[in-house]
Amino acid sequence: MVNLMQSTDDEQAAIWNGPAGRAWVETQDLLNQLFKPFEDLLVDAVTDKSRRRLLDVGCGTGSITLAFVRRFEGQDCCTGIDISGQMIAAARSRAELEGAQATFICANAQTYVFEPAQFDAIVSRFGVMFFNDPVQAFANLRRSAREGAELRLIVWRSAEENPFMTEAERAATPLLPTLPVRRINGPGQFAFADNGRVRTLLERSDWGDIVFRPIDVACSIPEKDLNRYLSQLGPVGMALQEADRETRTRIIETIRPAFDRYVHGAEVHFTAACLMISARAA
């Protein structure tokens, strides 16, 4: 019998320690600019800024973790965890360059054995939608949280509400018919779009006081970086990583006009339809 849970775990580990992790490290300057508004929202949303221990789930290259270190005035109380060894290495390098006191763990937050009841706050920016078993993952995070600890997540709403994020796939389908189909409810970018489903999994994981707040966030990147974004990120970018230069150029030239409506002079603008989810360790 095939162990589907293990297969999904292995699949996510392979993706984020392979092409996706490599792409995020190589484009971290672009992504840091693109997602800066979410960083500000998340840091401002954590209500108690006193001395506390904080966990950043799916920390990637460390932007959110380091933002909280700066907010907490350099206290050694912030930990980031991510399944990608490449991104954790980049996060550690960033922390060293900044002289920031932060801890970074390369592990799957779904199964990692945390010290019990150690965190006062658990946060994530787009880092919790990839668990193969979200109930197990959030139960594990709950065990790491102190009573009354705060949970703050920013996740994407539906694909239909985020056309910029799926535009490349629609435009590239005639040229890349084998692009993987996004799986409803994940693991994947839009896995937390269903409020009812997310409420149920959080309640089953012993989180309470659950609140969903829709947020529509204006995002932008320089127009000169749009082709770089398209050729490295998202399903199309992943598919093109192994393509030869001629194929890559032909596909990017084909899909680029689909983004004309987002281009305003030297900038690309779009609205990200997301949710801010808050909860408490019940």
Per-residue model confidence (pLDDT) at position 76: 65
Task: Please tell me the predicted confidence (pLDDT) of residue 269.
Answer: 97
Distance CA(41)–CA(43), nearest Å, equals 6
d(CA 122, CA 68): 11
Distance of CA 16 to the CA centre of its chain: 11
3-state SS class at 80? strand
Q: Is the pTM of this model over 0.85?
A: yes
Residue 2: what pLDDT? 32
Interatomic CA distance for residues 141 and 152, integer angstroms: 12
E strand or H helix that includes residue 167: helix 163-172
Do residues 262 and 270 touch, judged by C-beta distance below 8 A? yes
User: In angstroms, rounded to a whole number, what is the distance separating the alpha carbons of residues 88 and 65?
Assistant: 11
pLDDT at 74: 61
What per-residue confidence (pLDDT) applies to 3? 39
Separation between Cα atoms, residue 31 and residue 237, nearest integer Å: 14
Determine the pLDDT at residue 51: 56
Report yes or no: 148 and 76 within 8 Å, Cβ to Cβ. Answer: no
Backbone φ, ψ for residue 77 (5° rounding): -140, 10
Cis peptide before 235 (omega within 30 of 0): no
Instruction: Enumerate domains of the chain plus CATH numbers.
Output: 4-159+183-219+272-281 (3.40.50.150)
> How would you write the pLDDT of the chain (282 residues) with one tens digit per residue?
333 334 455 788 888 898 888 999 999 999 999 999 999 999 999 866 655 799 999 999 999 999 999 988 766 689 999 999 999 999 999 999 999 999 999 999 999 999 999 999 999 999 999 999 999 999 999 999 999 999 999 999 999 999 999 999 999 988 888 888 888 777 899 999 999 999 999 999 999 999 999 999 999 999 999 999 999 999 999 888 878 888 889 999 999 999 999 999 999 999 999 999 999 998
